Amino acid sequence: MADADKPSKGKPPADPASKKYPLNLPDTPFPMRGDLPKREPGWVADWEKRDVYGAIRAARKGAPKFILHDGPPYANSEIHLGTAVNKILKDIVVKTRSMAGFDAVYVPGWDCHGMPIEIHIEKKFGKHLPRAEVQAKARAHATEQIALQMAGFKRLGVLGDWANPYRTMTFKAEADEIRTLGRMMERGFVYRGLKPVNWCFDCNSA
């Protein structure tokens, strides 16, 4: 037996199972870990840069339209579980209709009026501000909240015409509402009658 083949004194022979053999595995560009909190913002930014929503609409030009009328969230806080679920479900519907061959239109919007915003202004600045000042502060607050919510919805991967959302506080929207109410009155759809009304003693409003 050659000296190289003799087991060294004091050391057990090597276990064949412990020997490492090179494996011919396929190479992949995918990372070992997802790191989604770090990677997802980059994907969303890339979608926005490439205008994926616009590209989808362009590819479906001339197809039958599917229009989702978005009942909007209040513009009074950052998104929460309720608003997130609502928006995600609508996004699923729009995307599946687009994949089914429709020109799926989604214009996001915000309800900029209502008691939640007014209550916030009262809590922050008091209840005795002039009406014009309350309206100005409510408009500024709603504008801030829209920006926060829009960023949150984009982060969820919701696709839509984010550059042209509708806001109930735009002067055009308010004027359209008044004109519509006027037409309803002319046609006799608006009348005064009796009905129970839930009244808020704190807000002095229904």
Retrieve residue 12's tokens.
Answer: 């057990």
Task: Tell me what pLDDT residue 7 has.
Answer: 55
β-strand pairing of 166-167 with 109-110? parallel
Q: Name the residue among 110, 127, 130 with its Cα closest to residue 170.
A: 110
Q: Which residue segments constitute the domains of the chain, with CATH numbers given?
A: 51-171 (3.40.50.620)
Q: Name the residue among 157, 128, 118, 124 with its Cα closest to residue 36.
A: 157
Task: Tell me what pLDDT residue 203 has.
Answer: 75
Task: Tell me what pLDDT residue 5 has.
Answer: 54
Mean pLDDT, consecutive 10-residue segments, the chain of 206 residues? 56 68 79 82 92 96 94 91 95 97 96 88 91 94 96 95 95 96 96 86 76
Task: Tell me what pLDDT residue 142 has.
Answer: 96
Retrieve residue 157's tokens.
Answer: 């991967």
Task: Tell me what pLDDT residue 180 has.
Answer: 97
**At CB < 8 A and 24+ separation, what contacts does 78-86 make?**
78/145, 78/148, 78/149, 78/152, 79/148, 79/149, 79/152, 79/153, 83/149, 84/152, 84/156
Burial group, residue 140, by CB count within 10 angstroms (0-12, 13-18, 19+) = exposed
85: left (phi over 0), alpha (psi -120 to 50) or beta: alpha
Q: Name the residue among 206, 97, 107 with its Cα closest to residue 163.
A: 107
